[in-house]
Amino acid sequence: MKMSFRAKRLDRQNQRLAQAGKLNLVALMDIFTILVFFLMVNQSEVKVLQSNKDISLPRSVSEQLPSEKVMLTITANGVLVQGKPVWQGDWQQDSDVWLEDLTQALTAELTYLAERAGPLAQEQQQQGRALTILGDAATPYAVLRQLMAICAATEYRDLSLAVEATTAAAAPEGAS
């Protein structure tokens, strides 16, 4: 039996619709390529400092991004330089008990790091070497001041205090 023109057309259409759909990978690859480059470019704006889980950094509105420097970490029971324990003790004791040991240990470690880095250039002599202090928010100010004085005595005078950045809208009133 001879098929009509309409029957032939419907048969061709049914065969065409019965075929599996094709995936166009070219467009998908273009999208992923653009996504990879976008993520690579924008990834460099985030700076994360190595942090200790025992430390809760103070919150502040920070406008400056951290840079690679020597890290001095102050925990509740000790001091670490570049992640290496330098001194362990109790801050609650009388300062005469821990100050001398801490001064000797921290001075020795910072002097060693300064010798490894080489001599300072003439224009850097006044400013000194750079150091970032990661201190717990509960660290007493007297301890922080003592540590900063020890650092300044060993050529580390460009000191930065690490904080957890908050937005200006989330900052408490009166804090700036």
Q: Report how far residue 5's alpha carbon sits from residue 167's, in angstroms, rounded to the nearest whole number.
A: 72
Is the separation of the CB atoms in 151 and 135 below 8 Å? no
Average pLDDT over residues 7-20: 88
The pLDDT assigned to 109 comes to 93
**Residue 9 confidence class, pLDDT cut points 50, 70, 90:** very high
In a domain? residue 107 = yes
In a domain? residue 86 = yes
The pLDDT assigned to 176 comes to 42
Average pLDDT over residues 138-152: 88
Q: Report how far residue 170's alpha carbon sits from residue 75's, in angstroms, rounded to the nearest whole number.
A: 26
User: Percentage of residues in the chain with pLDDT exceeding 90?
Assistant: 17
**Residue 8 confidence class, pLDDT cut points 50, 70, 90:** very high
The verdict on 83 and 11 lying in the same domain is no
H-state helical runs in 44-176? 95-117, 141-153
DSSP classification of residue 83? T
The verdict on 26 and 69 lying in the same domain is no
- Of 115, 127, 131, the C-alpha closest to 79 is 131
Per-residue pLDDT tens digits for 96-123: 778 888 889 999 999 999 889 888 888 8
The verdict on 108 and 144 lying in the same domain is yes
In a domain? residue 172 = no
Identify the domain containing residue 99 by its residue range.
59-165
pLDDT above 50: residue 175: no
